């Protein structure tokens, strides 16, 4: 009987030691935090990084396919913003105007965005179209404004009818700095709000307008 007891204790001790190497928990004054062994952590991090990269590729491919003009003229002009998007794990939000909306700006405006001298202005416009956290359609509708990478942007209710903005009625939609949200799509951990115009402040166009070709009047 004594021999069986000693064997059981030895076996139990081996199992406890083996388990503690794979999954270690430590008690703190406010909470219990758990961490796996270094081997498990490295494996998990590697798998997570690969999945994370795949998700970002899917989002970028979707944006390039659905909003190519926005990607080429504005969203692709800010490397710092893209770095944040590729590194975040919590999800993010992009306000993406359609190609039709950008074409309504006219050829001159689009050329200004493509001008190398306006790259800083385009980068600022880009920052106003990105939020480094997920903002759903319901959350957007219930808000009075949002904080983008570029700064605060007002949110309101869209109105149909009326004359010169007077006498119209709310149609259940939402506007972001005057741009109406047409639809909302989630791709991986990115929430994309499609809009009928840019949401960046109009004053940024002044920086584009002030540029002059050397020697011109």
Judge contact between 153 and 131, C-beta under 8 A.
no
199 falls within a domain: yes
Q: Could you tell me the residue range of the domain that residue 169 belongs to? A: 46-209
- Average predicted confidence (pLDDT) for the chain: 77
Q: Tell me the average pLDDT across 13-42.
A: 34
Q: At what angle do helices 119-127 and 79-87 cross, to 10 degrees?
A: 30
170 falls within a domain: yes
Q: What is the pLDDT of residue 55?
A: 78
**Cα(49)–Cα(44) distance, integer angstroms:** 8
24 falls within a domain: no
76 falls within a domain: yes
CATH of the domain at 163: 2.30.180.10
**Cα(116)–Cα(213) distance, integer angstroms:** 12
13 falls within a domain: no
133 falls within a domain: yes
Q: Tell me the average pLDDT across 35-59.
A: 56
CA distances from 183 to 53, 96, 101, 137 (A): 26, 10, 14, 9
Does the reported pTM lie above 0.85? no
Q: State pLDDT tens for residues 89-143.
A: 889 999 999 999 999 999 999 999 989 889 999 999 999 999 999 999 999 999 9
Band of residue 161 on the pLDDT scale cut at 50, 70, 90: low
Query: 179-187 and 190-195: which strand pairing?
Result: antiparallel
Q: Tell me the average pLDDT across 15-39.
A: 31
Number of domains in the chain: 1
152 falls within a domain: yes
Q: What is the pLDDT of residue 180?
A: 96
186 falls within a domain: yes
Single out the residue of 57, 72, 97 nearest to residue 192, CA to CA.
97
């Amino acid at each position: 009987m004594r021999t069986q007891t000693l064997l059981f204790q030895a076996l139990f001790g081996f199992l406890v030691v083996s388990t503690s190497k794979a999954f270690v928990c430590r008690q703190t004054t406010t909470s219990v935090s758990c961490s796996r062994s270094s081997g498990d952590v490295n494996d998990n991090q590697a798998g997570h990084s690969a999945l994370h990269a795949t998700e970002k590729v899917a989002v970028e491919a979707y944006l390039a396919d659905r909003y190519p003009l926005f990607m080429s003229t504005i969203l692709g002009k800010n490397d710092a913003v893209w770095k944040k998007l590729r590194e975040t794990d919590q999800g993010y939000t992009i306000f993406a105007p359609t190609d039709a909306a950008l074409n309504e700006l006219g050829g001159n405006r689009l050329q200004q965005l493509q001008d190398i001298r306006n790259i800083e202005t385009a980068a600022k416009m880009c920052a106003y179209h990105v939020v480094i956290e997920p903002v759903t359609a319901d959350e957007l509708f219930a808000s009075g404004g949002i904080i983008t990478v570029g700064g605060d942007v007002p949110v309101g209710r869209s109105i149909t009818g009326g004359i010169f903005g007077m006498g119209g009625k709310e149609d259940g939609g939402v506007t972001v700095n005057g741009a109406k949200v047409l639809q909302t799509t989630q791709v991986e951990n990115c929430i994309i709000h499609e809009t009928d115009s840019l949401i960046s402040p109009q004053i940024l166009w002044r920086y584009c307008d002030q540029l002059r070709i050397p020697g011109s009047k």
